[in-house]
Structure 1
Amino acid sequence: MSRFKKLSHAVWHCTYHIVWTPKYRYRILEGEIKNEVENCIRMFSGQKGCTIEELNVQFDHVHLLVMVPPKVSISDLMGILKGRTAIRVFNKFKYLKQKPYWGNHLWSKGYCVDTVGLDAEMIKRYVKFQENQDKREGQ
């Protein structure tokens, strides 16, 4: 089975490591809140066609390793994940919204994202192999 996925006009493997935190990095992501956040992330990622490879919700931050189709931008995905999970968490756990420091925002403003790519040496070998393969086929 190939690690690449296919769309109608693209073959892709776009994996990202994304990290974000609750507002003020409060340590609230435990128990039922943690379960709700995990369920929301899985559900909303799936709706956008993303595949979660790893998800780790810790007390004060979330790690997500996810394959994202090229038609979905990371900023759109994060807007959906952070926005919709906040709405669901605040609706389910109303006592969080009563705290004056939230201001109707569960998550801090930013996030960290890093691409998880293939090994550069492996790509160089592949390109070199393709060059040699084309030369052989041309003869």
Structure 2
Amino acid sequence: MQRNYRRGRYSVTRLVVHLVFTTKYQRKVFDGEEDHVHLLVEYPPKLSISVLVNNLKSTSSRRVRFLNTHIPRLSKSAALWSRSYFACSAGGATLETLKAYVNGQKTPD
């Protein structure tokens, strides 16, 4: 299986994060997962998670409201998302696998 790595001048990365956003006051807004959404996002190493989240929330809020005019305003500020979020790294290896790999590395004599 070939991985799609991001190649920079001095680094090779593949950073993926699992994000969960909840609606303001956890109100039921969507079909399916009614009060939250799950996102799996690949991002560049210079971008912090908090900046990524703020950009995604503001952009998606405007887009969702534009495409779904029937969604009610949840607060006076018209915010769709709550200020909080969940973020978790989404690498393919478990911590146990990584620990075994690191412990298995030979140290120079």
Bigger fraction of residues in strand: 2
TM-score, normalising length from structure 1? 0.61
Take 2:28 and 2:61, find their aligned partners in 1: how far apart are those partners? 15
Change (3 A) 1:116 1:94: closer
2:100 to 125, 134, 137: 125
Change (3 A) 1:102 1:92: farther
Change (3 A) 1:21 1:129: same
**Residue type at the aligned position of 2:43:** V
Aligned to 2:48: 73
Q: Tell me how far 1:84 sits from its aligned partner.
A: 1.0
Q: Indicate yes or no: 2:108 matched with 1:107.
A: no
TM-score, normalising length from structure 2? 0.74
**Residue type at the aligned position of 2:86:** C
Take 2:8 and 2:94, find their aligned partners in 1: how far apart are those partners? 23
Take 2:95 and 2:68, find their aligned partners in 1: how far apart are those partners? 46
Q: What are the equivalent positions in structure 2 for 1:37-56 lying under 5 Å apart?
A: none
Q: Secondary structure of 1:76's match?
A: helix
Structure having the higher Rg = 1
Q: Secondary structure of 1:18's match?
A: strand
RMSD: 2.6
Q: Indicate yes or no: 2:61 matched with 1:91.
A: no
C-alpha contact (below 8 Å) 2:29/2:71 kept by paired residues: no
